[in-house]
Protein backbone atom coordinates (compact mmCIF):
# COMPACT_ATOMS: atom_id res chain seq x y z
CA UNK A 1 0.00 0.00 0.00
CA UNK A 2 2.85 2.36 0.95
CA UNK A 3 4.61 1.92 -2.36
CA UNK A 4 1.44 2.45 -4.36
CA UNK A 5 0.54 5.51 -2.30
CA UNK A 6 3.98 6.99 -3.00
CA UNK A 7 3.66 6.21 -6.73
CA UNK A 8 0.10 7.53 -7.06
CA UNK A 9 0.93 10.74 -5.22
CA UNK A 10 4.05 11.25 -7.29
CA UNK A 11 2.14 10.71 -10.53
CA UNK A 12 -0.43 13.25 -9.36
CA UNK A 13 2.19 15.74 -8.23
CA UNK A 14 3.83 15.56 -11.66
CA UNK A 15 0.52 15.25 -13.51
CA UNK A 16 1.45 17.30 -16.57
CA UNK A 17 4.68 15.47 -17.32
CA UNK A 18 2.95 12.16 -16.50
CA UNK A 19 0.19 12.85 -19.04
CA UNK A 20 2.57 14.07 -21.76
CA UNK A 21 4.95 11.16 -21.27
CA UNK A 22 2.10 8.64 -21.14
CA UNK A 23 0.73 10.12 -24.38
CA UNK A 24 4.06 9.67 -26.12
CA UNK A 25 4.06 6.04 -24.97
CA UNK A 26 0.44 5.74 -26.16
CA UNK A 27 1.37 7.01 -29.62
CA UNK A 28 4.37 4.72 -29.81
CA UNK A 29 2.41 1.69 -28.57
CA UNK A 30 -0.53 2.44 -30.86
CA UNK A 31 1.76 2.86 -33.84
CA UNK A 32 3.70 -0.30 -33.08
CA UNK A 33 0.56 -2.43 -32.71
CA UNK A 34 -1.06 -0.88 -35.81
CA UNK A 35 1.97 -1.39 -38.05
CA UNK A 36 2.30 -4.95 -36.86
CA UNK A 37 -1.37 -5.84 -37.20
CA UNK A 38 -1.94 -4.05 -40.53
CA UNK A 39 1.08 -5.93 -41.87
CA UNK A 40 -0.04 -9.32 -40.56
CA UNK A 41 -3.74 -8.97 -41.32
CA UNK A 42 -3.23 -7.53 -44.79
CA UNK A 43 -0.66 -10.18 -45.64
CA UNK A 44 -2.91 -12.95 -44.36
CA UNK A 45 -5.96 -11.51 -46.11
CA UNK A 46 -4.31 -10.71 -49.43
CA UNK A 47 -2.62 -14.08 -49.67
CA UNK A 48 -5.82 -15.77 -48.50
CA UNK A 49 -8.16 -14.07 -50.98
CA UNK A 50 -8.60 -16.30 -53.97
CA UNK A 51 -12.22 -15.59 -54.77
CA UNK A 52 -12.73 -19.34 -54.49
CA UNK A 53 -10.37 -20.13 -57.39
CA UNK A 54 -7.05 -21.91 -57.66
CA UNK A 55 -5.61 -20.18 -60.69
CA UNK A 56 -6.09 -17.51 -63.33
CA UNK A 57 -5.46 -17.88 -67.03
CA UNK A 58 -4.66 -14.71 -68.91
CA UNK A 59 -2.60 -13.19 -71.67
CA UNK A 60 1.15 -13.74 -71.57
CA UNK A 61 2.65 -11.43 -68.96
CA UNK A 62 3.05 -10.95 -65.28
CA UNK A 63 1.30 -13.42 -62.98
CA UNK A 64 0.99 -10.73 -60.36
CA UNK A 65 -0.70 -8.34 -62.78
CA UNK A 66 -3.06 -11.09 -63.82
CA UNK A 67 -4.03 -11.90 -60.24
CA UNK A 68 -4.36 -8.25 -59.22
CA UNK A 69 -6.55 -7.57 -62.24
CA UNK A 70 -8.84 -10.57 -62.09
CA UNK A 71 -9.05 -11.40 -58.37
CA UNK A 72 -8.44 -8.04 -56.69
CA UNK A 73 -9.92 -5.90 -59.49
CA UNK A 74 -6.87 -3.65 -59.44
CA UNK A 75 -4.36 -2.94 -62.18
CA UNK A 76 -4.92 -3.12 -65.95
CA UNK A 77 -5.62 -6.32 -67.80
CA UNK A 78 -2.43 -7.71 -69.38
CA UNK A 79 -4.41 -8.56 -72.54
CA UNK A 80 -7.15 -10.83 -73.76
CA UNK A 81 -7.71 -14.57 -73.98
CA UNK A 82 -9.40 -15.87 -77.12
CA UNK A 83 -12.71 -17.67 -77.00
CA UNK A 84 -10.95 -20.82 -78.22
CA UNK A 85 -8.48 -20.70 -75.35
CA UNK A 86 -11.32 -20.15 -72.92
CA UNK A 87 -13.22 -23.17 -74.28
CA UNK A 88 -10.02 -25.15 -74.30
CA UNK A 89 -9.37 -24.67 -70.58
CA UNK A 90 -13.05 -25.05 -69.76
CA UNK A 91 -12.98 -28.50 -71.30
CA UNK A 92 -9.62 -29.48 -69.78
CA UNK A 93 -10.09 -32.63 -67.65
CA UNK A 94 -8.05 -31.05 -64.84
CA UNK A 95 -10.48 -28.16 -64.54
CA UNK A 96 -13.58 -28.29 -62.37
CA UNK A 97 -14.81 -24.79 -63.12
CA UNK A 98 -13.67 -22.08 -65.54
CA UNK A 99 -15.38 -18.72 -65.36
CA UNK A 100 -14.55 -15.97 -67.82
CA UNK A 101 -14.35 -12.33 -66.86
CA UNK A 102 -14.08 -9.25 -69.01
CA UNK A 103 -13.04 -5.79 -67.90
CA UNK A 104 -12.58 -2.47 -69.61
CA UNK A 105 -15.38 -0.21 -68.39
CA UNK A 106 -16.27 1.59 -65.21
CA UNK A 107 -19.05 3.49 -63.57
CA UNK A 108 -17.68 6.63 -61.92
CA UNK A 109 -14.41 4.91 -61.11
CA UNK A 110 -15.91 1.61 -59.96
CA UNK A 111 -14.97 -1.22 -62.24
CA UNK A 112 -17.55 -3.10 -64.31
CA UNK A 113 -16.75 -6.80 -64.51
CA UNK A 114 -18.47 -8.92 -67.12
CA UNK A 115 -18.92 -12.54 -66.13
CA UNK A 116 -21.10 -15.60 -66.51
CA UNK A 117 -24.00 -16.48 -64.15
CA UNK A 118 -21.95 -19.45 -62.84
CA UNK A 119 -19.97 -16.92 -60.83
CA UNK A 120 -22.99 -16.54 -58.55
CA UNK A 121 -24.40 -20.03 -58.90
CA UNK A 122 -21.34 -22.25 -58.49
CA UNK A 123 -18.53 -20.29 -56.86
CA UNK A 124 -17.78 -20.49 -53.16
CA UNK A 125 -15.68 -17.36 -52.63
CA UNK A 126 -14.73 -18.74 -49.22
CA UNK A 127 -15.39 -22.24 -47.88
CA UNK A 128 -19.17 -22.64 -47.61
CA UNK A 129 -19.86 -19.07 -48.72
CA UNK A 130 -21.65 -18.11 -51.93
CA UNK A 131 -22.27 -14.58 -53.09
CA UNK A 132 -25.62 -13.43 -51.73
CA UNK A 133 -27.98 -10.62 -52.60
CA UNK A 134 -29.78 -8.15 -50.41
CA UNK A 135 -33.53 -8.94 -50.20
CA UNK A 136 -35.54 -8.25 -53.35
CA UNK A 137 -32.64 -8.52 -55.78
CA UNK A 138 -31.74 -10.99 -58.52
CA UNK A 139 -28.56 -11.96 -60.26
CA UNK A 140 -28.50 -10.60 -63.79
CA UNK A 141 -30.02 -12.25 -66.83
CA UNK A 142 -27.07 -12.73 -69.25
CA UNK A 143 -29.24 -11.72 -72.18
CA UNK A 144 -30.22 -8.35 -70.73
CA UNK A 145 -28.49 -5.15 -69.73
CA UNK A 146 -28.70 -5.84 -66.05
CA UNK A 147 -26.20 -5.20 -63.28
CA UNK A 148 -25.49 -6.45 -59.78
CA UNK A 149 -23.75 -3.88 -57.58
CA UNK A 150 -21.14 -4.88 -55.04
CA UNK A 151 -22.07 -3.82 -51.51
CA UNK A 152 -19.33 -1.17 -51.22
CA UNK A 153 -20.21 0.38 -54.59
CA UNK A 154 -23.91 0.40 -53.74
CA UNK A 155 -23.18 2.07 -50.44
CA UNK A 156 -20.84 4.68 -51.89
CA UNK A 157 -22.90 5.44 -55.00
CA UNK A 158 -26.26 5.11 -53.25
CA UNK A 159 -27.29 2.45 -55.78
CA UNK A 160 -30.54 0.62 -55.23
CA UNK A 161 -32.73 -1.80 -57.12
CA UNK A 162 -34.20 -0.29 -60.27
CA UNK A 163 -31.53 2.40 -60.64
CA UNK A 164 -30.13 2.82 -64.11
CA UNK A 165 -26.71 4.00 -65.22
CA UNK A 166 -24.52 4.45 -68.28
CA UNK A 167 -21.12 2.77 -68.14
CA UNK A 168 -17.96 4.75 -68.96
CA UNK A 169 -15.18 3.46 -71.11
CA UNK A 170 -11.88 2.43 -69.58
CA UNK A 171 -10.89 1.59 -66.04
CA UNK A 172 -10.39 5.22 -65.04
CA UNK A 173 -13.43 7.46 -64.89
CA UNK A 174 -13.64 10.13 -67.55
CA UNK A 175 -16.96 11.88 -67.98
CA UNK A 176 -16.47 12.24 -71.73
CA UNK A 177 -16.16 8.51 -72.25
CA UNK A 178 -19.76 7.58 -71.48
CA UNK A 179 -21.22 4.59 -73.31
CA UNK A 180 -24.70 4.77 -74.79
CA UNK A 181 -25.95 1.59 -73.12
CA UNK A 182 -28.21 1.84 -70.10
CA UNK A 183 -27.94 -0.78 -67.38
CA UNK A 184 -30.48 -1.40 -64.66
CA UNK A 185 -29.52 -2.52 -61.17
CA UNK A 186 -31.35 -5.79 -60.47
CA UNK A 187 -29.39 -6.81 -57.42
CA UNK A 188 -27.20 -5.48 -54.63
CA UNK A 189 -24.78 -7.96 -53.09
CA UNK A 190 -24.46 -8.56 -49.41
CA UNK A 191 -21.00 -7.65 -48.10
CA UNK A 192 -18.50 -10.43 -48.73
CA UNK A 193 -15.52 -8.43 -47.42
CA UNK A 194 -13.67 -9.32 -50.59
CA UNK A 195 -12.62 -7.24 -53.59
CA UNK A 196 -15.92 -8.24 -55.25
CA UNK A 197 -17.67 -5.67 -53.06
CA UNK A 198 -15.95 -2.93 -55.05
CA UNK A 199 -17.20 -3.86 -58.53
CA UNK A 200 -20.40 -3.86 -60.54
CA UNK A 201 -21.11 -7.19 -62.13
CA UNK A 202 -22.72 -7.27 -65.57
CA UNK A 203 -23.13 -10.06 -68.20
CA UNK A 204 -19.93 -11.04 -70.04
CA UNK A 205 -21.43 -10.02 -73.35
CA UNK A 206 -22.19 -6.60 -71.96
CA UNK A 207 -18.47 -5.77 -71.85
CA UNK A 208 -17.64 -7.71 -75.01
CA UNK A 209 -20.25 -5.96 -77.11
CA UNK A 210 -20.31 -2.54 -75.45
CA UNK A 211 -20.61 0.24 -78.02
CA UNK A 212 -17.21 1.56 -79.05
CA UNK A 213 -15.36 -1.66 -78.15
CA UNK A 214 -13.37 -3.39 -80.89
CA UNK A 215 -15.82 -5.81 -82.63
CA UNK A 216 -12.90 -8.13 -83.43
CA UNK A 217 -12.47 -8.73 -79.69
CA UNK A 218 -16.18 -9.34 -79.12
CA UNK A 219 -15.64 -13.01 -78.30
CA UNK A 220 -12.48 -12.55 -76.22
CA UNK A 221 -12.28 -12.46 -72.43
CA UNK A 222 -9.86 -10.66 -70.12
CA UNK A 223 -9.08 -13.72 -68.00
CA UNK A 224 -10.45 -17.09 -66.99
CA UNK A 225 -10.82 -17.88 -63.31
CA UNK A 226 -10.07 -21.55 -62.78
CA UNK A 227 -11.04 -24.04 -60.10
CA UNK A 228 -8.99 -27.20 -60.46
CA UNK A 229 -9.96 -30.78 -59.85
CA UNK A 230 -8.10 -32.49 -57.03
CA UNK A 231 -4.99 -31.10 -55.45
CA UNK A 232 -1.59 -29.87 -56.61
CA UNK A 233 -0.86 -32.26 -59.45
CA UNK A 234 -3.53 -30.74 -61.70
CA UNK A 235 -2.13 -27.28 -61.12
CA UNK A 236 1.38 -28.52 -61.72
CA UNK A 237 0.39 -30.07 -65.05
CA UNK A 238 -1.45 -26.93 -66.14
CA UNK A 239 1.48 -24.76 -65.05
CA UNK A 240 3.77 -26.93 -67.16
CA UNK A 241 1.44 -26.76 -70.14
CA UNK A 242 0.82 -23.00 -70.22
CA UNK A 243 3.92 -21.49 -68.66
CA UNK A 244 6.78 -23.86 -69.49
CA UNK A 245 5.73 -25.41 -72.79
CA UNK A 246 3.46 -22.70 -74.17
CA UNK A 247 4.30 -19.06 -74.75
CA UNK A 248 0.96 -17.40 -75.55
CA UNK A 249 -0.77 -17.45 -72.18
CA UNK A 250 0.07 -17.16 -68.48
CA UNK A 251 -1.31 -19.50 -65.87
CA UNK A 252 -1.08 -17.87 -62.42
CA UNK A 253 -1.11 -20.75 -59.96
CA UNK A 254 -1.50 -20.89 -57.02
CA UNK A 255 -3.08 -17.48 -56.50
CA UNK A 256 -1.97 -17.17 -52.84
CA UNK A 257 1.66 -17.87 -53.78
CA UNK A 258 1.59 -15.07 -56.35
CA UNK A 259 0.43 -12.61 -53.70
CA UNK A 260 2.89 -13.99 -51.16
CA UNK A 261 5.61 -13.33 -53.72
CA UNK A 262 4.46 -9.72 -53.88
CA UNK A 263 4.60 -9.38 -50.10
CA UNK A 264 8.03 -10.92 -49.98
CA UNK A 265 9.18 -8.37 -52.57
CA UNK A 266 7.88 -5.47 -50.50
CA UNK A 267 8.91 -6.93 -47.14
CA UNK A 268 11.65 -4.30 -46.89
CA UNK A 269 8.92 -1.70 -46.58
CA UNK A 270 7.37 -3.57 -43.63
CA UNK A 271 10.78 -3.74 -42.05
CA UNK A 272 11.28 0.01 -42.44
CA UNK A 273 7.87 0.66 -40.86
CA UNK A 274 8.67 -1.73 -38.03
CA UNK A 275 12.01 -0.06 -37.47
CA UNK A 276 10.36 3.36 -37.37
CA UNK A 277 7.82 2.17 -34.80
CA UNK A 278 10.58 0.59 -32.69
CA UNK A 279 12.49 3.86 -32.80
CA UNK A 280 9.38 5.81 -31.80
CA UNK A 281 8.93 3.39 -28.90
CA UNK A 282 12.54 3.90 -27.83
CA UNK A 283 12.23 7.69 -28.00
CA UNK A 284 8.99 7.55 -26.01
CA UNK A 285 10.67 5.37 -23.40
CA UNK A 286 13.57 7.78 -23.22
CA UNK A 287 11.05 10.54 -22.54
CA UNK A 288 10.09 8.71 -19.32
CA UNK A 289 13.72 8.72 -18.27
CA UNK A 290 14.06 12.42 -19.10
CA UNK A 291 10.85 13.49 -17.36
CA UNK A 292 11.59 11.63 -14.10
CA UNK A 293 15.27 12.49 -14.16
CA UNK A 294 14.54 16.19 -14.67
CA UNK A 295 12.20 16.20 -11.70
CA UNK A 296 14.77 14.61 -9.39
CA UNK A 297 15.94 17.90 -7.93
CA UNK A 298 12.46 18.74 -6.66
CA UNK A 299 11.92 15.16 -5.49
CA UNK A 300 15.08 14.96 -3.41
CA UNK A 301 13.66 16.70 -0.37
CA UNK A 302 10.65 14.41 -0.41
CA UNK A 303 12.94 11.41 -0.75
CA UNK A 304 15.05 12.69 2.18
CA UNK A 305 11.90 13.09 4.31
CA UNK A 306 10.75 9.57 3.44
CA UNK A 307 14.18 8.22 4.30
CA UNK A 308 14.21 10.16 7.58
CA UNK A 309 10.85 8.52 8.39
CA UNK A 310 12.50 5.15 7.94
CA UNK A 311 11.97 4.34 4.26
CA UNK A 312 14.76 2.11 3.03
CA UNK A 313 16.75 2.95 -0.06
CA UNK A 314 15.27 -0.01 -1.91
CA UNK A 315 11.74 1.32 -1.31
CA UNK A 316 12.75 4.62 -2.89
CA UNK A 317 14.46 2.79 -5.74
CA UNK A 318 11.44 0.55 -6.26
CA UNK A 319 9.03 3.48 -6.14
CA UNK A 320 10.84 5.25 -8.99
CA UNK A 321 11.04 2.08 -11.10
CA UNK A 322 7.35 1.35 -10.52
CA UNK A 323 6.43 4.96 -11.26
CA UNK A 324 8.21 4.70 -14.62
CA UNK A 325 6.45 1.41 -15.31
CA UNK A 326 3.11 2.92 -14.25
CA UNK A 327 3.55 5.81 -16.72
CA UNK A 328 4.19 3.22 -19.41
CA UNK A 329 1.19 1.18 -18.32
CA UNK A 330 -1.06 4.26 -18.42
CA UNK A 331 0.32 5.02 -21.85
CA UNK A 332 -0.36 1.51 -23.06
CA UNK A 333 -3.99 1.72 -21.94
CA UNK A 334 -4.32 4.85 -24.07
CA UNK A 335 -2.28 3.12 -26.81
CA UNK A 336 -5.27 0.90 -27.53
CA UNK A 337 -7.32 4.01 -28.30
CA UNK A 338 -4.61 5.23 -30.71
CA UNK A 339 -4.36 1.72 -32.13
CA UNK A 340 -8.10 1.60 -32.72
CA UNK A 341 -8.05 5.04 -34.37
CA UNK A 342 -5.09 4.21 -36.63
CA UNK A 343 -6.51 0.79 -37.52
CA UNK A 344 -9.95 2.16 -38.25
CA UNK A 345 -8.44 4.80 -40.55
CA UNK A 346 -6.22 2.21 -42.24
CA UNK A 347 -9.11 -0.23 -42.58
CA UNK A 348 -11.30 2.41 -44.26
CA UNK A 349 -8.54 3.26 -46.75
CA UNK A 350 -7.68 -0.39 -47.45
CA UNK A 351 -11.33 -1.30 -47.88
CA UNK A 352 -11.93 1.63 -50.23
CA UNK A 353 -8.87 0.73 -52.30
CA UNK A 354 -9.11 -3.05 -52.33
CA UNK A 355 -12.36 -4.21 -50.79
CA UNK A 356 -10.37 -6.13 -48.17
CA UNK A 357 -11.67 -5.57 -44.66
CA UNK A 358 -9.27 -5.45 -41.68
CA UNK A 359 -10.64 -6.18 -38.22
CA UNK A 360 -9.14 -3.91 -35.50
CA UNK A 361 -10.68 -6.05 -32.77
CA UNK A 362 -9.24 -9.35 -33.93
CA UNK A 363 -6.78 -10.62 -31.33
CA UNK A 364 -3.12 -10.63 -32.25
CA UNK A 365 -0.27 -11.60 -29.89
CA UNK A 366 1.27 -8.14 -30.42
CA UNK A 367 -1.57 -6.84 -28.23
CA UNK A 368 0.09 -8.68 -25.35
CA UNK A 369 3.78 -8.46 -26.09
CA UNK A 370 3.86 -4.81 -27.16
CA UNK A 371 2.34 -3.54 -23.86
CA UNK A 372 4.57 -5.94 -21.89
CA UNK A 373 7.66 -4.80 -23.79
CA UNK A 374 6.87 -1.10 -23.44
CA UNK A 375 6.07 -1.42 -19.74
CA UNK A 376 9.32 -3.35 -19.30
CA UNK A 377 11.23 -0.69 -21.25
CA UNK A 378 9.53 1.99 -19.16
CA UNK A 379 10.67 0.28 -15.97
CA UNK A 380 14.15 0.03 -17.44
CA UNK A 381 14.08 3.75 -18.21
CA UNK A 382 13.35 4.32 -14.53
CA UNK A 383 16.64 2.73 -13.48
CA UNK A 384 18.79 5.83 -14.05
CA UNK A 385 16.62 8.22 -11.99
CA UNK A 386 16.04 5.43 -9.46
CA UNK A 387 19.79 5.13 -8.93
CA UNK A 388 19.95 8.89 -8.44
CA UNK A 389 17.10 8.67 -5.93
CA UNK A 390 18.80 5.72 -4.23
CA UNK A 391 21.92 7.81 -3.69
CA UNK A 392 20.10 10.84 -2.28
CA UNK A 393 21.96 12.28 0.70
CA UNK A 394 19.31 12.46 3.41
CA UNK A 395 20.94 14.95 5.77
CA UNK A 396 21.81 17.32 2.94
CA UNK A 397 18.29 17.44 1.54
CA UNK A 398 16.20 17.58 4.73
CA UNK A 399 16.61 21.32 4.83
CA UNK A 400 14.46 23.21 2.35
CA UNK A 401 16.27 24.94 -0.46
CA UNK A 402 14.96 28.31 -1.52
Partner 1 sequence: MQLLDISQLKKTFVAPDGSKHTVINVQSFRLAERAQVALAGESGCGKTTLLHLIAGILKPDEGCVMIAGQEMSALSEAQRDRLRATTIGYIFQTFNLLQGYTCLENVLLGMSFGPGADRVFARELLERVGLGNHLRHYPRQLSSGQQQRVAVARALANRPKLVLADEPTGNLDHKNATEALSLIRTGCQENGAALLLVSHDREVLGQFETVQAMEQINQTDATEEKKA
Cβ at position 296, least distance to partner 1 in Å: 16
310 binds partner 1 (CB under 8 A): yes
Cβ at position 318, least distance to partner 1 in Å: 13
Give the one residue of 163, 302, 334, 383 binding partner 1; rule: CB under 8 A: 302
Cβ at position 397, least distance to partner 1 in Å: 10
Q: Which is nearer to partner 1, 103 or 306 (CB)?
A: 306
Cβ at position 320, least distance to partner 1 in Å: 15
Q: Which is nearer to partner 1, 388 or 397 (CB)?
A: 397
Cβ at position 332, least distance to partner 1 in Å: 25
394 binds partner 1 (CB under 8 A): yes
311 binds partner 1 (CB under 8 A): yes
Interacting residues with partner 1 between 5 and 34 (CB under 8 A): 5-6, 9-10, 12-13
Give the one residue of 99, 112, 238, 306 binding partner 1; rule: CB under 8 A: 306
Cβ at position 5, least distance to partner 1 in Å: 7
Interface stretch with partner 1, choices 217-225, 307-315, 342-350, 355-363 (CB under 8 A):
307-315
309 binds partner 1 (CB under 8 A): yes
190 binds partner 1 (CB under 8 A): no
286 binds partner 1 (CB under 8 A): no
Cβ at position 23, least distance to partner 1 in Å: 22
Q: In three state form, how does the secondary structure of the chain look? A: CHHHHHHHHHHHHCHHHHHHHHHHHHHHHHHHHHHHHHHHHHHHHHHHCCCCCCEEEEECCCHHHHHHHHCCCCCCCCCCECHHHHHHHHCCCCEEEEEEEEEEEEECCEEEEEECCHHHHCCEEECCEECCECCCCCCCCCCCCEEEECHHHHHHHCCCCCCEECCEECCCCCHHHECCCCEEEEEEECCCCCHHHHCEEEEHHHHHCCCCCCHHHCCCECEEEEEECCCHHHHHHHHHHHHHHCCCEEEECCHHHHHHHHHHHCHHHHHHHHHHHHHHHHHHHHHHHHHHHHCHHHHHHHHHHHHHCCCCHHHHHHHHHHHHHHHHHHHHHHHHHHHHHHHHHHHHHHHHHHCCCCCCCCCCCHHHHHHHHHHHHHHHHCHHHHHHHHCCCHHHHCCCCC
128 binds partner 1 (CB under 8 A): no
Binding-site ranges for partner 1 (CB under 8 A): 1-2, 5-6, 9-10, 12-13, 301-302, 305-315, 394-395, 398-400
Amino acid sequence: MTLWLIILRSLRQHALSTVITALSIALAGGLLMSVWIVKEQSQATFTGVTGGFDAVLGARGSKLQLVLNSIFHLENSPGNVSAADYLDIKNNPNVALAIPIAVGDNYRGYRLVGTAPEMFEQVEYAPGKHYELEPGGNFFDPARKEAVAGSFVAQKMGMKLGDTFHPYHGLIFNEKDQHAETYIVVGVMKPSNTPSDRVIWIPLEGIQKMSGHDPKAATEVSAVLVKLKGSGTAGFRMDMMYNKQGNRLTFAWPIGATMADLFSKISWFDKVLELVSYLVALVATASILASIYNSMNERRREIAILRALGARRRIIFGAIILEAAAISALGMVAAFVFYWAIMTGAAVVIRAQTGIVLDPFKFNPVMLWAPAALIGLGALAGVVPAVKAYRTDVAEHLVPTS
